[in-house]
Each structure stands twice: as structure tokens, then as C-alpha cells.
Amino acid sequence: MSADTPVISCKNVWKIFGKDPKGYLESMSPGTSYDEIRADGYIAGVKDVSIDVHKGEMLVIMGLSGSGKSTLVRCFSRLHDITGGTISVEGQDIMSLPEKELIELRRSKMGMVFQSFGLLPHRTVLQNVAFPLEMRGQDRHTRRERAMEVVKLVGLEGREDYFPRELSGGQQQRVGIARSLAIEPDIWFLDEPFSALDPLIRKEMQDEFLRLQQMLNKSIVFITHDFDEALRLADRIAIMKDGAVEQCDTPDRIVLNPATEYVRKFTEDVDKARVVHAGVLAQAGAKGEGEPVDAKATVQGMARMLVNDSREMIPVQKNNTLIGAMSRKAALDILLGTEG
């Protein structure tokens, strides 16, 4: 496997629910719509999806209830057998893996966190976190050490001996996260992990999660139906509707260039100045004058400079190398919400 092989690669993946999904997909004429499939008595949980997950990225799958997010992610680990297409994990076609190897792949490489924390009520924090290590047959000492390490990582040091009922929702979810981290997964699936938390704790958990990701650099697939959460966390966002991916791109590009009317509706109320970075506004090859701005600076972060400056084109640099220049007017339009 070469360094740039995607961690997960999906090509034209279908997951159809119904009586004879495979037979139906084979006989289905190309271009059949979600509603037509439905009228035929089937549900296209995943509809012709091609998408890659890259090493170290956080891919957020966003969509309304029933759009197919969980079904797609279940296909990634073959918790669902797909009806059509191919899925490879680290270059290996998972549909052709024998059951035993599949279980081993899940156990050794994949971690999962769900909305319902799924903690064992009669076990302490430490025992909950150590549980998957126990399942792996690790000895008591090793699992205790590893469990202590991850409990510390998620900020629960001092609460090792608490029972789940003695913890707040946010703390319980931290235990769930610690438990799934204990086995050091390379690929991490999180299905609406914060949706049961109240807004303040949720924001705190998102920050905590970004901090963890910076340290651990895992490949993450994160499901949410909250667009703001997606914008905060994602390297790329895949927006799903009726089983299909409407658009998959960076948060900047999604809010600047929504591919469909459906996506545009999500972006309507977003404060674009907080999302759009200089890097995406930089025109390659364009020349600017004076002091460059950093590609990672948001329009909001540059607000004062944009208003007071008089340059037409401002150079943009990434890792100290010039990558082009951005038009000050374009950035100002985003700041003032006057872009055309």
C-alpha cells in the first residue's frame, strides 16, 4: 500500500433494503431515482456513493435524519454487506475478506463511538475503559496502565473509580471515547457522539475532540446532522440526501460554492467569515503586494486588516511559501455578506 492510498475507498457503492436487493439492482435501469426505487418497494440507504477517506483526515458525514449516514458508515466496516460497488480498507477489498479476517480487521484497526454511550453500569470508569483490552486477552497490569493513559487523555484523571451514574453526560461520553481509544484504532467511526449532550458541554467536547485529533492524527469518519458541528470539526464534509452524496469538499468550498440547491440551503445562515480561510481565496499565480497573510487565517480573523488596508491583491502564504494572492474586495464581500 503506497503512502497516498486512501484508508477507505468506496466506488459506486449501493446499499438497497428490500426483498431481493441484488436482483433489483441488477435489473434496475441507470438513473432510476430514489423515489422510483421507493415506489418499487425498495429503499436506497446508500445510492451510488464514491468517496475516499484519507489518512489523518476528519471526514464528516452530514445529512438530515434518514439520509443514509449511518448506513454508509456501517458499510465501511461491513457491518452491512453492500448491494453493489466496492469498498477497500487500506487497499484490501473488504467484501472478499473471510469472516475471520474481517473480524480481526475491525478489532485491530477500527474504533467506534455511538450516541448512546453504551457504558457498563456496574463497572467503574477504569474498568469500562479497560473492557475492550480484557476482551483482547491483555493481562490486568497492561490493561490498567493503558486505561489510565487514555482516561488521562480525555481529562478524567481522578475519576477512575467513579461509576457511570456518578458522571455527567459529557463525562460519560468521554469514557466512551476513552474506551474506543484504548485499542488504538487507526480508523475511528463516531456516530453522532455528542448529540445527547447539552449545547455548552457539546461545544466543550468538540474542542476537546479537536485537541485529541491534533495529538493523535487518526483517520476519522464523524456523523452528524448538525451543520455547525460539521463546519467546526471537518477537514472535509460529505453532505448526504436520499442515500447519495450531494457534495464532498472542504467547509470553505462548500459554503463558497454549494454544488446543489439542497446544499445551498444548509449554507444560507452560516457566517461565512468564520469558515472561509485566506487559502481558499488565494488565486494561484496572482501577485500581491506587501506583507502576506497566512492561508489558515479566517476572513473574520483578518477583519481589521481588510477594512483598514488599501491593497487590491494581498499575498497569501502557506507554511511560509507564497501560494498566490487574494482579492481584498472578495474577502471584504464575505466579511460584509455582500458577495454576489
Ligand X SMILES: Nc1ncnc2c1ncn2[C@@H]1O[C@H](COP(=O)(O)OP(=O)(O)OP(=O)(O)O)[C@@H](O)[C@H]1O
Q: Is 67 in the site for ligand X (CB under 6 A)?
A: yes
Q: Is 70 in the site for ligand X (CB under 6 A)?
A: yes
In angstroms, what is the minimal distance from the CB of 123 to ligand X?
28
Q: Which stretch binds ligand X (CB under 6 A): 5-13, 67-75, 196-204, 301-309?
A: 67-75
Q: Is 225 in the site for ligand X (CB under 6 A)?
A: yes
Task: Kindly tell me which residue out of 68, 251, 258, 288 binds ligand X, with binding defined by CB under 6 A.
Answer: 68
CA distance 195 to 62: 13
Q: Which stretch binds ligand X (CB under 6 A): 64-72, 103-111, 164-172, 200-208?
A: 64-72
Q: Is 126 in the site for ligand X (CB under 6 A)?
A: no
Measured from the CB atom, the residue of 81 and 145 that comes closer to ligand X is 81
Task: Kindly tell me which residue out of 24, 42, 71, 328 binds ligand X, with binding defined by CB under 6 A.
Answer: 71
Q: Which stretch binds ligand X (CB under 6 A): 59-67, 231-239, 290-298, 323-331?
A: 59-67
What does the block give as the cell for 36? 422510483
Judge contact between 113 and 189, C-beta under 8 A. yes
Task: Kindly tell me which residue out of 63, 132, 279, 315 binds ligand X, with binding defined by CB under 6 A.
Answer: 63
CA distance 286 to 28: 49
Site size for ligand X, by CB under 6 A? 12
Q: Is 219 in the site for ligand X (CB under 6 A)?
A: no
In angstroms, what is the minimal distance from the CB of 93 to ligand X?
23
Q: Which stretch binds ligand X (CB under 6 A): 58-66, 151-159, 229-237, 272-280?
A: 58-66
In angstroms, what is the minimal distance from the CB of 245 to ligand X?
12
CA distance 307 to 328: 9
Judge contact between 44 and 37, C-beta under 8 A. yes
In angstroms, what is the minimal distance from the CB of 215 to ligand X?
29
Q: Which stretch binds ligand X (CB under 6 A): 65-73, 182-190, 284-292, 328-336?
A: 65-73
Q: Is 214 in the site for ligand X (CB under 6 A)?
A: no
In angstroms, what is the minimal distance from the CB of 213 to ligand X?
22
Measured from the CB atom, the residue of 73 and 256 that comes closer to ligand X is 73
In angstroms, what is the minimal distance from the CB of 22 to ligand X?
15
Q: Is 262 in the site for ligand X (CB under 6 A)?
A: no
In angstroms, what is the minimal distance from the CB of 253 to ligand X?
23
Using CB under 6 A as the criterion, which residues of the chain lie in contact with ligand X when the complex forms? 17, 43, 45, 63, 65-71, 225
